[in-house]
Structure 1
Amino acid sequence: MGDEPPASGEVVLPCLDEAAALPWVLGRIPPGWRAVVVDNGSTDGSAELAASLGAHVVAEPLRGFGAACAAGLHAATAPLVGFCDCDASLDPGLLPLLAAPVLEGRADLVLGRRTPTGPGSWPVHARLANRALARLIRRRTGLHLHDLGPMRVARREALLTLALTDRRSGYPLQMVVHAADAGWRVRETDVPYHPRVGRSKVTGTWRGTRHAVRDMRAVLDEPLHRNTGTAR
């Protein structure tokens, strides 16, 4: 593995007990990209399985989606960094599609707008919460987004300037809010959204959705973020 060329992009995959989904997810990593699996306390052998399948595995003992994402971002070294759920609901093979506008200078952050492939892909309560969140994002940032897509791509160095501090469910939203405050060009592109493999830890339950909404409201209540860096 030491003779492999450096990756042009890396995808951060927050992981908590996703052994059932990992073979498919890691098998879909596109050429030129490397998987950074951030194990967030799995007890089902996810970390060992991911390592055996060729992923770079990072351990993050602090529980929380944002904690895992932050650990993966700081572990990444490639110019481009993507984020993707590790439950097989999204296809990492589509990362080059999201990366293209960034590489071509047409966008600074590209989000995958989820398009459900069937009735079991996206629970109704989660979809309604996402729709309400999109309206709040427009009000706070002026961005006309339809979805806070968990699959996304941006330049690593630029992401580090955003000073993201949320370590729970608010991390994806804080990235978008801080990017908007910094004047980034944020774009959406449609991606298929499949039924996840295994049990959801967040939006699969009303309780998890409520906690996510609480975390995200705290982000929306933050004052304007002053970012001295640039995405270009």
Structure 2
Amino acid sequence: MKQPLIRVIIPAYNEQDSIAKVIQDIPEIVAEVIVVNNNSSDATVENATKAGATVLTENRKGYGYACLKGINHIISNNLNTDIVVFLDGDYSDYPEQLTEIVAPITNKNIDFVIGSRVKRLRESGSMTPQQVFGNWLATFLMKVFFNAKFTDLGPFRAIKFDKLLELEMEDKTYGWTVEMQLKAIKRKYSYTEVPVKYRNRIGVSKVSGTIKGTILAGVKILSWIFKYSFK
């Protein structure tokens, strides 16, 4: 593949203390960083703008809503795009590893890449016990039902833009990551994982940091898996 046009989509809800750090650590090979302000009440918008990102606003709260807003920005503005990278705004990922995430696409023509938060590269406490168990259960079920080889539902991921559009993503909240992986399996996309480092996030998690968020995320993830198991 020639030098690809890469755009990064970052959903952000009250990430004023971390968002500029995330943007600044993204490699210069990226054509555009798109931060989707997901109804923040702090200085996320101002800090992301100062850091050089394109900032959109999606007032409907939900990870999927924010991701879909970023995708629609690319489509509606007819922006030439080869690869889209999804990245969280809390600085738990290492944005500089983007070059490693996209390498299987650019070098081996892989369709879809997951950044896998392997234990040996995780900072102590960066993933809660419920996150670790939830990831294990979800990927175990995908292996049982679909013979998938995923080990993580990590949010740091890259996908060819045309392949992303073919998936017709629809989940608005917690099920976005697993929906993408399930649909990629169903469409027989080539995929791989790249081990990535993971550190304690800046601020409090909006999902795993609350009992309600953990339960809702777990229910949504399992519902997607069972929905596709019986299709």
Q: Does 1:105 align with 2:108?
A: yes
Q: Percent identity?
A: 29
Instruction: Tell me, in whole angstroms, the C-alpha distance in 1 between the residues paired with 2:224 and 2:100.
Output: 28
Summarize deviations over 1:177-197 as a string: whole Å, max 9, x none: 001100001211100010000
Tell me the residue number matched to 2:18.
Answer: 21
Tell me the residue number matched to 1:118.
Answer: 123
Q: Does 1:161 align with 2:166?
A: yes
Q: SS in structure 1 opposite 2:193?
A: strand
Q: CA deviation at 1:130?
A: 1.2
Tell me the residue number matched to 2:65.
Answer: 67
Letter paired with 1:26: I
CA contact (8 A) 2:110 2:191 kept: yes
CA contact (8 A) 2:4 2:83 kept: no
Structure 1 runs not aligned, ≥5 long: 1-5, 227-232
Q: CA deviation at 1:224?
A: 7.0
Letter paired with 1:50: A
Instruction: Tell me, in whole angstroms, the C-alpha distance in 1 between the residues paired with 2:187 and 2:198.
Output: 29
- Choose the corresponding residue for 1:88, options 78, 86, 91: 91
CA contact (8 A) 2:182 2:228 kept: no
Instruction: Tell me, in whole angstroms, the C-alpha distance in 2 between the residues paired with 1:223 and 1:145.
Output: 16
Q: CA deviation at 1:223?
A: 4.0
Q: CA deviation at 1:145?
A: 1.3
CA contact (8 A) 1:108 1:184 kept: yes
Q: CA deviation at 1:207?
A: 2.3
The structure-2 alpha-carbon separation of the partners of 1:7 and 1:21, relative to structure 1 and needing over 3 Å to count, comes to farther
Instruction: Tell me, in whole angstroms, the C-alpha distance in 2 between the residues paired with 1:179 and 1:29.
Output: 26
Summarize deviations over 1:22-44 as a string: whole Å, max 9, x none: 12101101112121100000000
- Choose the corresponding residue for 1:9, options 6, 9, 15: 6
The structure-2 alpha-carbon separation of the partners of 1:225 and 1:153, relative to structure 1 and needing over 3 Å to count, comes to farther
Instruction: Tell me, in whole angstroms, the C-alpha distance in 1 between the residues paired with 2:228 and 2:157.
Output: 24
Summarize deviations over 1:170-229 as a string: whole Å, max 9, x none: 011100100110000121110001000001000123321111011112211324799xxx
CA contact (8 A) 2:86 2:156 kept: yes
CA contact (8 A) 2:12 2:36 kept: yes
Tell me the residue number matched to 1:53.
Answer: 51
Q: SS in structure 2 opposite 1:148?
A: coil
Q: Does 1:31 align with 2:28?
A: yes
Letter paired with 2:166: T
Structure 2 runs not aligned, ≥5 long: none
Summarize deviations over 1:107-143 as a string: whole Å, max 9, x none: 2100000135322211112111111111112123211
Q: Does 1:181 align with 2:195?
A: no
* TM-score of the pair, normalised by structure 1: 0.90
Moved more, 191-200 or 75-84: 75-84
Higher helix share: 2
Q: Does 1:130 align with 2:127?
A: no
Moved more, 69-78 or 125-134: 69-78
**Alignment RMSD, CA only?**
1.9
Moved more, 190-199 or 21-30: 21-30
